[in-house]
Amino acid sequence: MIPAAVFDGSIESFLEPIRDLLADPSVSEIMLNGPEEIWVERQGRLSLTGSRFPSAGALAAALTNIAQYAGRTIGPASPILEAHLPDGSRVEAVLGPLAHGGPAVAIRRFGGAALTIGRLVASGSLTAEAARVLERAVAGRRNLVVSGGTGSGKTSLLGALSSFAPEGERIIVIEDTREIRLQRPHVVHLETRSADERGRGLVTIRDLLAATLRLRPDRIVVGEVRGPEAFDLIQAMNTGHGGSLTTVHANSPRDALRRLESLALLADAAMPLAALRAQVAAAVHVVVQVERAADGRRRVSAIEAVRGLMPDGEHAMAPLFRLDDAGRLVRARRKEQR
């Protein structure tokens, strides 16, 4: 195990070489390809910096301190780390020899004010009309899935949508690493836990979902569905837990439903695909697609309602908003249901 200094509660104590980058509000992500190659993202564009760590050992020691702060472990037996910094920024790290050339690290920053629907509309990422439709869906306890690729802004949009939930609700958030910033007063955050070096203490999203159902939630938010927990969430959505929100990696609203089906099949529930597809169609009401445009701007690219199943067994989708030829989000024509 890499020796670690005692964590003293300050970022400077273990990330001094990139302290200025962490303090720069224009930096949305910091990527380290080993100790000497450090990139940043600003407004969707990547650029190489002149910052560097003294050695791979110094970077690995910093990661050990981060793991200790987050109550996790990283080392030869556990070479992958998911954690967060005191300011809420998310850290994903992979040690060598899995990562050649030294530890590979990505720090997604969540500092500053939480993203709001107003800011999304002002930046052109969402229109006021589309925001009103989403407000009615969330307030009306419709189940929403935010779909998109890596770095497209799914988690930020999910947090912004939370502002539409009534203030009197109890919301339980389940994540691998805490990053969703819900804008409501009564929120319970639950985080998964990795197994220790002896394989003990593992707590998965499925475990937390089972516990959540007995914690009296008014609304369940799962930061990202990427495994068999999809089956449990679909069941919860169909058994009285309306207004649930989650994200999934997919390239289109229809692909998002198919991915939920594929992930739910990993639960080995011995349910025929046709029956599972019917449950997905009943559970999910709206899919919001987000993307990162060529200029680096993150935007909502489609909003579609799920209308059950068609006679051939495929999902019936009713586009509500789509991008026009000029790249503007506009209301879809009613005849576009498919």
Task: Quote the pLDDT of residue 13.
Answer: 64
Q: Write down the residue that tokens 């799914």 correspond to.
A: 154
Q: Write down the residue that tokens 């005191």 correspond to.
A: 86
Output the six-digit token pair for 46.
Answer: 């990547």
In this structure, how many other beta carbons lie within 10 angstroms of the beta carbon of residue 31?
18
Q: Where are the domains of the chain?
A: 12-108, 117-336
C-alpha–C-alpha distance, residues 95 and 81, integer Å: 9
Among the four given CATH numbers 3.40.50.300, 3.40.50.920, 3.40.1280.10, 2.40.220.10, the one describing domain 117-336: 3.40.50.300
Supply the DSSP symbol for 181.
-
CATH number of 12-108: 3.30.450.90
Contacts of residue 204, defined as CB under 8 A and 6 or more positions apart, other chains included, come to 192, 227, 229
C-alpha–C-alpha distance, residues 184 and 165, integer Å: 8
Task: Quote the pLDDT of residue 50.
Answer: 92
Task: Flag residues of the chain having pLDDT under 70.
Answer: 1-13, 111-114, 334-338
DSSP letters, 256-294, are HHHHHHHHHHTT-----HHHHHHHHHHH--EEEEEEE-T
Task: Quote the pLDDT of residue 7.
Answer: 41
Contacts of residue 140, defined as CB under 8 A and 6 or more positions apart, other chains included, come to none
Return the percentage of the chain with pLDDT > 90, whole number. Answer: 58
Task: Quote the pLDDT of residue 1.
Answer: 36
- Topology agreement, domain 12-108 and domain 117-336: no
In the chain, DSSP assigns E strands to: 29-33, 38-42, 45-48, 80-84, 90-94, 104-108, 144-148, 171-175, 187-191, 219-222, 245-249, 286-292, 298-309, 315-323, 329-331
Task: Quote the pLDDT of residue 142.
Answer: 96
Task: Quote the pLDDT of residue 117.
Answer: 92
C-alpha–C-alpha distance, residues 147 and 151, integer Å: 11
Helix (H, G, I), strand (E, B) or coil at 172: strand
Task: Quote the pLDDT of residue 69.
Answer: 84
